[in-house]
């Protein structure tokens, strides 16, 4: 499938067009669409009815031989889609739609599938009316049959109903996850979430920290390799913690998707610490950091401590980086700087922790067992009537064991 991509440079735009068009090409590639033509226009502001200027529409019309689809680099309004389709008589789509298509193909779990279904339905509903009948039936990918305005209206209702049902099912799954998380919280295990722009190396870092080779997550050079959050238990400076890998962010992530993926990203909202993975070989890293932080803000993440992990230093292209504090330079792939990262995580998560010495009589052995299982014990020694323990924990926690406490 051959595509012509269209971008507009206008005042007040908050992203870099050239970079964004490169990324759009990568998104196309992920959808098996080849970009064969490109069209850029400079405007004072976006044309509300056609996105581009009227003259440009004519210019594009003359470029359409051997083109199957015209893709705009920003989300078009339903009105723009309708008018452009009327004028160009070809399939018109946009950045958001591509991202949704990728998510649709990659979604594996029930939850991810429901989330994508909701986001796609919400995106599609207001746009259905503007679709031309013959183009509409050509786009059979969405599982619609037949054509005609009546059919479109029927499908509109069908999709609205599907969205509703999907939302209900999702709510159930979300509830289960919340319960799971509550259980974890009771376990007092610290949760670390990996966040960052798509393709920055989050999954690779997760795998580097995860000793159990059966539990490796997919790491791949493609946008949106990860759509599911995966949580693994890892040891951080002899503390057992949970590490969560998350879906990557992208500039102008479609709003519906953020909404739909909110439940998946709740893990991020509730994490004790965020490791923000940055591809330090990418000259656009600063804008990627901004994008990630904006999405985090939108999710309601405010006071969670964050470490910047500038990744891929093995490529030796990180000389231009001006790091934000606190930071670590790493290579997840070549395992460079991981000890330093672990130490930085530990210093933040366990900064109030202190060392205590306990003497636990044998009849209270289950307490020793509990502390041992939770990896709180640094050293122990069997004595005649008791077990001596050197433990590390939060001062609040030690109160529970005050009667066993030895003077330091
Ligand atoms: N050279 C180099 N490549 C790396 C490093 N870390 C990750 N990569 C590569 O970068 C690509 C993306 O890695 P992933 O770990 O899948 O990235 P991600 O952040 O999980 O991406 P999404 O799941 O799409 O958000 C893969 O091809 C990795 O092999 C690194 O330290 N050095
Ligand atoms: Mg990933």
Rounded-to-integer distance, Cα 38 and Cα 20, Å:
13
- Angle at Cα 228 formed by Cα 125 and Cα 240, nearest 5°? 150
Kindly provide the ipTM of the predicted complex, given to two decimals.
0.99
Amino acid 4: pLDDT: 98
Same domain, 341 and 200: yes
Whether residues 362 and 317 share a domain: the answer is: no
Q: Both 120 and 164 in a single domain?
A: yes
Give pLDDT tens digits for 300-350.
898 999 999 999 999 999 889 999 999 999 999 999 999 999 999 999 999
Please indicate, yes or no, whether residues 41 and 173 belong to a single structural domain of this protein: no
117 in the same domain as 102: no
Question: Do residues 124 and 173 share a domain?
Answer: yes
Q: Which band of pLDDT confidence, cut at 50, 70 and 90, is reported for residue 135?
A: low
* Assigned domain for 249 exists: yes
Question: Residue 145 pLDDT > 50, yes or no?
Answer: no
User: Looking at residues 242-261, what average pLDDT do you find?
Assistant: 82
Look at residue 327 in the predicted model and tell me its pLDDT.
98
144: confidence class by pLDDT, cuts 50, 70, 90: very low
Residue 321 and residue 207: Cα distance in Å, rounded? 25
Contacts of 35 (CB under 8 A, 6+ apart): 2, 3, 4, 5, 24, 25, 28, 71
Q: Do 88 and 177 sit in the same domain of this protein?
A: no
Assigned token pair, 328: 């670590």
Distance 324 CA to ligand 2 centre (A): 23
Q: Residue written as tokens 């460079």?
A: 336
| End-to-end Cα separation, the chain, in angstroms | 72
Among residues 275, 276, 270, 324, the alpha carbon closest in space to that of 301 is found at: 270
Note whether 359 and 224 are same-domain residues: no
Quote the ligand 2 centre to 249 CA distance (angstroms). Answer: 10
Beta carbons of 43 and 9 less than 8 angstroms apart? yes
Distance from the CA of 266 to the center of ligand 1, in angstroms?
Answer: 23
Contacts of 13 (CB under 8 A, 6+ apart): none
Q: Is 313 annotated as a binding residue?
A: yes
Q: Would you state the structure tokens that stand for residue 103, as one six-digit string?
A: 């998510």
Q: Which ligand 1 atom is the nearest neighbour of the CA of 204?
A: 15
- Regarding beta strands 386-393 and 354-361, do their DSSP bridges make them parallel or antiparallel, or are they unpaired? antiparallel
Q: Residue 355: beta bridge partners?
A: 392
Q: What are phi and psi of 355, to 5 degrees?
A: -90, 135
Helix or strand holding residue 310 (H, E): strand 306-311
Q: Could you tell me the pLDDT band of residue 24, with boundaries at 50, 70 and 90?
A: very high
The verdict on whether residue 246 carries a ligand-binding annotation is yes
Closest ligand 1 atom, residue 330 Cα: 31
CATH of the domain at 207: 3.40.50.300
Residue 314 resides in a domain = yes
Domain membership of residue 81 (yes or no) is yes
Residue whose structure tokens are 């031989």:
65
342 pocket-lining for ligand 1 (C-beta < 6 Å): no
Asked if 329 and 197 sit in the same domain, the reply is yes
The last residue of a domain, from among 304, 332, 350:
350
Ligand 1 atom closest to the Cα of residue 334 is 31
**199, 223, 317: residue to mutate for ligand 1 pocket, most atoms within 8 A of CB:** 199
* Burial annotation 66-101 (CB, 10 A radius, 16+ → b, else e): ebebbbbbbbbbbbbbbbbbeebebbbbbbbbbbbb
Say if residue 199 is in the same domain as residue 337.
Answer: yes
List pLDDT tens digits, range 255-301.
777 777 776 687 888 899 999 999 999 999 999 999 999 989 988 89
Which residues constitute the domain of residue 378? 354-404
215, 196 contact by CB (below 8 A): no
87: in domain: yes
- Classified as helix, coil or strand, 341 is helix
Q: Nearest 5 degrees, angle CA 220-CA 68-CA 254?
A: 50
- The ligand minimizing its distance to the Cα of 277 is 1
Residue 229 is labelled as binding a ligand: no
Same domain (yes/no): 345, 327 = yes
Helix (H, G, I), strand (E, B), or coil: what is residue 48? coil
**Ligand 1 within 6 A of CB of 281:** no
- Interval 367-391 mean pLDDT: 89
41: in domain: yes
- Report if residue 368 sits inside a domain: yes
- The answer on 90 and 207 residing in a single domain is no
- Distance between CA 368 and CA 401 in Å, rounded? 11
In the predicted model, what is the mean pLDDT of residues 129-154?
Answer: 59
Establish whether residue 315 lines the binding site of ligand 1, counting it when its CB lies within 6 angstroms of any ligand atom.
yes
For residue 405, the tally of other CB atoms under 10 A from its CB is 13
Question: Where residue 80 sits, what CATH number does that domain have?
Answer: 3.40.50.11060
**For a pocket test of ligand 1, which of 279, 333, 334 has the largest count of ligand atoms closer than 8 A to its C-beta?**
333
Residue ID of nearest Cα to ligand 1 atom 9: 201
52: left (phi over 0), alpha (psi -120 to 50) or beta: beta
Q: Alpha-carbon distance 199 to 210, whole Å? A: 19
């Amino acid at each position: 499938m051959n595509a012509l991509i269209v971008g507009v440079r206008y005042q007040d735009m908050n992203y870099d067009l050239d970079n964004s068009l490169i990324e759009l090409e990568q998104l196309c590639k992920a959808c098996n669409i080849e970009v064969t033509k490109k069209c850029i226009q400079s405007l004072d502001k976006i044309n509300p009815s056609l996105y581009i200027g009227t003259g440009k529409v004519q210019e594009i019309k003359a470029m359409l031989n051997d083109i199957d689809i015209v893709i705009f680099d920003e989300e078009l309004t339903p009105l723009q889609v309708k008018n452009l389709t009327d004028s160009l008589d070809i399939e018109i789509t946009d950045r958001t739609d591509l991202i949704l298509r990728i998510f649709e193909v990659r979604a594996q779990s029930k939850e991810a599938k429901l989330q994508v279904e909701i986001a796609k339905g919400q995106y599609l509903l207001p746009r259905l009316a503007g679709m031309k009948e013959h183009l509409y039936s050509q786009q059979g990918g969405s599982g619609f049959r037949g054509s005609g305005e009546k059919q479109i209206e029927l499908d509109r209702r069908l999709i609205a109903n599907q969205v509703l049902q999907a939302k209900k099912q999702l709510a159930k799954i979300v509830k289960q996850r919340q319960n799971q998380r509550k259980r974890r919280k009771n376990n007092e295990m610290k949760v670390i979430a990996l966040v960052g722009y798509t393709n920055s190396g989050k999954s690779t870092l997760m795998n580097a920290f995860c000793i159990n080779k059966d539990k490796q997550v997919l790491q791949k050079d493609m946008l949106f390799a990860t759509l599911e959050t995966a949580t693994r238990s890892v040891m951080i400076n002899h503390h057992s913690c949970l590490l969560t890998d998350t879906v990557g962010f992208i500039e102008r992530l479609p709003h519906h998707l953020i909404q739909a993926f909110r439940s998946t990203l709740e893990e991020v909202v509730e994490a004790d610490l965020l490791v923000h993975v940055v591809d330090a070989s990418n000259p656009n890293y600063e804008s990627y950091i901004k994008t990630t932080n904006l999405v985090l803000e939108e999710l309601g993440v405010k006071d969670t401590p964050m470490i910047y992990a500038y990744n891929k230093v093995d490529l030796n292209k990180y000389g231009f980086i001006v790091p934000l504090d606190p930071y670590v330079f790493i290579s997840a792939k070549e395992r460079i700087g991981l000890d330093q990262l672990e130490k930085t995580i530990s210093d933040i998560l366990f900064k109030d922790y202190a060392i205590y010495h306990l003497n636990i009589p044998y009849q209270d052995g289950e307490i020793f067992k509990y502390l041992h299982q939770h990896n709180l014990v640094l050293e122990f020694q069997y004595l005649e009537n008791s077990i001596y323990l050197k433990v590390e924990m939060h001062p609040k926690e030690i109160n529970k064991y005050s009667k066993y406490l030895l003077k330091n």
